[in-house]
């Protein structure tokens, strides 16, 4: 039985049977010192795999199992041995270096749109099935829209579907990762407008976003903003 760089037993000699990492090929990189709230978007190369699950280290906590590399203890919130104050810790407690947009279908919003009785309200249908999709926001700009080959629009958050939301413009809105790490949204002039937490935002004006904010657009699309602890 062989042992992979992360300490798993593996019968295969090319890649680890458990974590899939290349056997015996882990490059010996500078061992990362405690990344003190590093402003850098790029964490240390994960030469330091999590001793519990083998996931490459990318911050204080293992992204997969929550192992705390600094105190060498277990999952925050999972056991009593957790680091104090790090349960479902507020973003400030960790280095919130990224954002994630979660796309879903919002029934209540849809009902409101239909109730407003726009020209096409009668033809709108709420999708029977809409899987929740997550987009990791990598800056500086993340466009929300629907892909159009003819017009050369390739939005990073492509709502082409299925299910297709007929009310989303090809180029509907743009999420902007500000240099200070905060997030704003701008509607460059979409056909049907954009709502943040239920109120319509003016065209062409940056609106700041925070963890948990929701952006509603089209007939039923809701995008929830989450801070990613990476």
Partner 1 sequence: MSQADFTVDVFQNEYLPEGSRDVNAIVTVTSVADPASAPPGGPGGLGGPSGLSELAEIIIIDCSGSMNAPPGKIAEARAATAAAVDVIRDGVAFAVIAGTETARPVFPQDGSMAIAGPQTRQAAKKAVGGLRPAGGTAIGQWLRLAHQIFTEDPAGPGHHPGHTQVRHAILLTDGKNQHETPEQLAGAIAVCEGVFSCDCRGVGTDWEVAELRRISAALLGTVDIVPDPGGLAADFEAMMETAMGKQIADVALRVWTPQHASIRFIKQVAPAIEDLTGRRSPAGPQAGDYPTGAWAPGESRDYHVCVEVSPAGVGQEMLAARVSLVAATPSGPQVLGQGLVRALWTDDEALSTRINPHVAHYTGQAELAEVIQEGLQARKEGDEDTATAKLSRAVALASEAGNEGTAKLLAKVVEVDATGTVRLRKKVEDADEMALDTRSTKTVRTRK
Q: Which is nearer to partner 1, 58 or 221 (CB)?
A: 58
Contact pick of 100, 104, 114, 230 for partner 1 (by CB under 8 A): 230
Q: How far is the CB of 15 from partner 1 (least distance, A)?
A: 3
Q: Name which of 75 and 201 has its Cβ closer to partner 1.
A: 75
In the complex, least distance from residue 47 CB atom to partner 1, rounded to whole angstroms: 6
133 binds partner 1 (CB under 8 A): no
Q: State the nearest-atom distance from the C-beta of 180 to partner 1, in Å.
A: 20
Which DSSP state fits 45? P
Cβ count within 10 A of residue 45: 13
* CA 90 remoteness from chain centre: 16
Tokens of residue 94, six digits: 């960790």
Q: How far apart are CA 150 and CA 80, in angstroms?
A: 57
Name the minimum Å distance from CB 199 to partner 1. Answer: 30
Q: Nearer Cβ to partner 1, position 11 or 85?
A: 11
Site for partner 1 in 160-179 (CB under 8 A): 162, 166
Tell me which residues in 13-72 interact with partner 1 (CB under 8 A): 14-22, 25-27, 29, 42-47, 49, 53-58, 63-64
Sort residue 132 into left (φ over 0), alpha (ψ -120 to 50) or beta.
beta
- Which uninterrupted H or E stretch holds 221? strand 221-228
Instruction: Please tell me the distance from the alpha carbon of residue 224 to that of residue 214, in angstroms, as a whole number.
Output: 4
Is the distance from CB of 109 to CB of 165 less than 8 angstroms? no
Regarding beta strands 141-145 and 133-137, do their DSSP bridges make them parallel or antiparallel, or are they unpaired? unpaired
Q: How far apart are the first and last CA of the chain?
A: 33
Q: Which is nearer to partner 1, 26 or 104 (CB)?
A: 26
Asked if 53 and 59 touch (Cβ cutoff 8 Å), the reply is: no
Instruction: Tell me, by CB under 8 A, how many residues bind partner 1.
Output: 36
Q: How near is the Cβ of 110 to partner 1 at its closest, in Å?
A: 17
List residues binding partner 1 (CB under 8 A): 14-22, 25-27, 29, 42-47, 49, 53-58, 63-64, 123, 136, 138, 149-150, 162, 166, 230
């Amino acid at each position: 039985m062989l042992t992979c760089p992360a300490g798993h037993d593996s019968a295969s000699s090319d890649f680890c049977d458990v974590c899939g990492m290349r056997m015996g090929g882990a490059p010996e990189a500078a061992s990362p010192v405690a990344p003190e709230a590093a402003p850098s978007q790029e964490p240390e190369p994960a030469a330091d795999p999590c001793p519990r699950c083998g996931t490459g280290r990318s911050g204080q906590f293992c992204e997969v199992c929550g192992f705390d590399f600094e105190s060498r203890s277990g999952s925050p919130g999972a056991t009593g041995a957790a680091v104090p104050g790090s349960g479902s810790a507020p973003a400030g407690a960790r280095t919130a270096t990224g954002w994630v947009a979660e796309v879903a279908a919002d029934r209540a919003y849809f009902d409101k749109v239909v109730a407003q009785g726009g020209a096409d309200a009668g033809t709108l249908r709420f999708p029977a099935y809409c899987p929740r999709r997550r987009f990791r926001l990598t800056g500086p700009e993340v466009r929300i829209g629907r892909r159009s080959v003819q017009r050369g629009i390739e939005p990073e958050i492509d709502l082409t579907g299925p299910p297709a939301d007929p009310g989303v413009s090809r180029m509907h809105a743009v999420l902007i990762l500000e240099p200070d790490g905060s997030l704003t949204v701008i509607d460059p002039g979409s056909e049907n407008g954009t709502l943040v937490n239920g109120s319509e935002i003016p065209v062409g004006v940056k609106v700041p976003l925070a963890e948990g904010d929701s952006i509603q657009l089209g007939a039923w699309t809701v995008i929830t903003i989450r801070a990613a602890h990476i």
